[in-house]
């Protein structure tokens, strides 16, 4: 039917997965991935454990445990929701923000090293590709 598109899809998928893997493996992380994802989720606006469990596709008890661990390390604060006593509201501590920032910086620094020898033209291609991909997977 449409083999060209399948080939493209495969190439794009492989490239994205390899980049992700290298970023994960080769850059410094102070925390395991599931904890970082939660910090990132909160920084992106998630407020409750339930929201985060849905977003991370993880069970509610798993998220409880992860959040408890983050709270133990003083990276996240839990406070009761004044409007709904069943809920709790999550915020990043200063330490949590810093941990997240330094992880992002380390990952970006890895990517910068990979991209710094590219021509201006190649950089434009990558920037456009990033935009196209984010648009394509958000539809």
The site for DNA (CB under 7 A) is made up of 32, 34-35, 48-51, 57-69, 78, 83-88
> CA dist 80 to 11, 55, 85, 93, Å?
47, 21, 7, 16
**Which of its own copies, DNA, none sits in contact with 129, Cβ below 5 to 8 A by type?**
its own copies
Which positions from 38 through 97 interact with its own copies, judged by CB under 8 A?
57
| Block residue for tokens 């291609």 | 125
C-beta closer to its own copies: residue 22 or 65 = 22
The site partner of 97 among DNA, its own copies, none (C-beta below 5 to 8 Å per kind) is none
115 contacts its own copies (rule: CB under 8 A) = yes
Q: CA 20, CA 14: separation in Å to the nearest integer?
A: 10
98 binds, among its own copies, DNA, none (CB under 5 to 8 A by kind): none
Helices (H), the chain: 3-26, 33-43, 49-56, 60-72, 94-115, 120-138
């Amino acid at each position: 039917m449409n083999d060209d598109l399948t080939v493209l899809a495969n190439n794009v998928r492989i490239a994205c997965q390899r980049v992700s893997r290298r970023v994960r493996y080769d850059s410094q992380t102070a925390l395991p991935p599931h904890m970082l994802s939660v910090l990132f989720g909160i920084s992106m606006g998630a407020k409750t454990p339930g929201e985060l469990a849905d977003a991370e596709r993880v069970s509610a008890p798993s998220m409880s445990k992860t959040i408890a661990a983050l709270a133990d390390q003083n990276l996240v604060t839990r406070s009761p929701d004044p409007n709904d006593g069943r809920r709790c509201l999550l915020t990043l501590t200063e330490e949590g923000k810093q941990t997240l920032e330094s992880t992002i910086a380390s990952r970006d620094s890895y990517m910068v090293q990979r991209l710094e020898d590219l021509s201006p033209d190649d950089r434009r291609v990558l920037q456009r590709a990033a935009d196209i991909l984010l648009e394509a997977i958000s539809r």
